[in-house]
Amino acid sequence: MALRSDDDPILTGGDIAIDSEDERNADPCTSRGCMWGKYTDGKVYVPYYITNHFSDREKAIIIRGLESFSSFSCIRFRPTQSNDRDWLSIESQNGCYSFVGRRGGKQVVSLARSGCLYHGTVQHELLHALGFNHEQTRSDRDNHIRVMLQNVQSGMEHNFNKIATLNQGTPYDYNSVMQYHKYAFSKNNQPTMVPIPNANVSFGNAKEMSRNDIARLNTLYKCCECPHEHIIKNKYTYTPVFSIEFGPNPPLCCFTVTEEVFSDVLTDDQRLPDQQKLQP
């Protein structure tokens, strides 16, 4: 583990940066306004600057993560402009970390060149910057995982504190990109988290955002502003989940769809992940 200097932010949850110990037991996103603002076109533009710490290949990984949000939400990460007051500074510091939500001014998102440059990790840290906490800190987590504090490293217990999260009407998701693995902060190679009621459930291995991660993001930022039900070809009804844009200046509508239903509507590069089948 890299040594941290006095100038580094305090970390909680392994990768959530805080300015002081006073923030440790609070959810910064519920104790202050933390969302990035929406523009009149319905999009949420988040300025970013990638420092020269990275190679071209490493920058490509970061940019892929940034641009992925535009394919399923109203979030648009864009390069900084001279008049931007708030922006994300993506740097290679000591580890992978981010503040939760919008802080104001320059806001560091650290993606260390050694260990952080993976698509899912980039999405994970960007979700923190957009206002999301870890899955295992959810207000309802005790119904889904058992925290084994006896296996947690001394002084790291605070990483398993529950937070009064707003769960956006979505269930606990073992496949969330925000879910840590079962041995996180273990002192003895024993699990620090065990799923309940089925201890054999696999979790903490997400390579990218899950369907629930996407749904929460769209709900928090009110990306889905169409009616709750849509009928296409007078044949199928869909409920909001995924973001699809039709035409040059469409309203942002969200659908849960099947691949076959949209086979004649979407191009190959618009296929949606984790599509859920609905009954006609």
134 marked as binding residue: yes
Residue-wise DSSP of the chain: -----TTSPEEETTTEEESSGGGTTS-HHHHS--PPPBPTTS-EEEEEEE-TTS-HHHHHHHHHHHHHGGGTSSEEEEE--TT-SSEEEEE--SSEEEESS--SSEEEEEE-TTT--SHHHHHHHHHHHHT---GGGSTTGGGTEEE-GGGBPTT-GGGG-------TT----TT-TTPPPTTTTBSSSS-SEEESS-TT---S--SS--HHHHHHHHHHTT---S-S-EEETTTEEE-S-EEE--SSS---EEE---TTTTTTTS-GGGPPTT------
124 marked as binding residue: yes
**Which one is catalytic: 125, 135, 229, 259?**
125
- Is 58 tagged catalytic? no
Annotated binding residues for Zn(2+): 124, 128, 134
Binding residues: 124, 128, 134
Q: Which residues are catalytic?
A: 125
